[in-house]
Amino acid sequence: MPAGSARPRPTLPAAPHSLASSPRATSAKSWRCLEDREDPNTTDPQGDAVSTATVQTLTAEVRTLVVGSRQITMSVAKQLDVVPLTQLQVFGRVKLPSGDCWVIGSDPDGVLAVAKYLSAWAIGKIEQFKTLSNDAQNSYEAERQMDRVGIYADSRTWINDLIESGEASAMGIARSEAAAATPLIVLAGLR
């Protein structure tokens, strides 16, 4: 390549945009995948198996949240009111930078809001905590057993708070599991 000439940059297909007026909009993109397969019945003149290439079309669905004609961005989602999960009509899960598990939807007044839900890991720790608390003869033995399985003092405080607030009740756990089963919504923007 001659000096001073720029390398041609590869181009990517444009991202599909949805301008639907519903709070949930979806778009799909098909991808092609080449796959090598050996046919045991086909051999070349040397007796080796011959590989054939096949094309397989896969479809990935990307859900975006659109209000009017504008897509909701990450920076807008971070500024939304936080409401209890019980008060939210859930549209889907979103990944916010805080690292917690979040869903987005509308509150009873129809205002866009977010709510936290318990992850599968947290639900597992809560169940372990309840089991060990009930099985132990005394609080010292329970604390030792919890330390062995990785439920340390700060986690025990957090779990006790969840139990007192009702989030760790059977109903609260069922709500969190239902929230975790909702589709992931991709928010526009980097931060």
DSSP one-letter string for 77-140 = HHTSEE--GGG-EEEEEE--TT-SEEEEEE-TTS-EEEEEE--HHHHHHHHHHHHHHHH-SSHH
| Residue for token pair 């639900």 | 123
User: What are the tens digits of pLDDT across the range 43-78?
Assistant: 666 766 666 777 877 787 788 888 888 888 899 999
Looking at the DSSP bridge assignments, the partners of residue 34 are: 55
The answer to whether residue 34 is domain-embedded is no
Band of pLDDT at residue 152, cut at 50, 70 and 90: confident
- HSE (side-chain half, CA atoms, 13 Å) at 25: 19
Same domain, 187 and 157: no
User: How long is the chain?
Assistant: 191
Same domain, 82 and 162: no
Percent of the chain with pLDDT over 90: 22
pLDDT at 139: 76
The answer to whether residue 77 is domain-embedded is yes
The answer to whether residue 16 is domain-embedded is no
Token couple for 139: 């609080």
Out of 15-29, 134-148, 166-180, least confident range:
15-29
Asked if pLDDT for residue 38 goes beyond 60, the answer is no
pLDDT at 92: 93
Asked if pLDDT for residue 115 goes beyond 90, the answer is yes
The answer to whether residue 80 is domain-embedded is yes
Asked if pLDDT for residue 80 goes beyond 60, the answer is yes
The answer to whether residue 190 is domain-embedded is yes
pLDDT at 12: 44
Number of domains in the chain: 2
Same domain, 73 and 57: yes
The answer to whether residue 186 is domain-embedded is yes
Same domain, 102 and 125: no
Same domain, 162 and 124: yes
The answer to whether residue 146 is domain-embedded is yes
Same domain, 70 and 111: yes
Give pTM, 2 decimals. 0.60
Q: What is the mean pLDDT of residues 98-111?
A: 90
The total of other beta-carbon atoms located within 10 Å of residue 4's CB is 5
Token couple for 68: 């009017």
Same domain, 133 and 103: no
Same domain, 110 and 161: no
Same domain, 94 and 149: no
Same domain, 96 and 189: yes
The answer to whether residue 103 is domain-embedded is yes
Same domain, 97 and 187: yes
Domain containing 135: what range? Answer: 120-166
Closest-CA residue to 71 (of 27, 28, 17): 17
Closest-CA residue to 82 (of 104, 99, 60): 104
**For residue 68, what is the DSSP state?**
T
Same domain, 99 and 140: no
Out of 19-28, 45-54, 112-121, 156-165, least confident range:
19-28
pLDDT at 3: 56
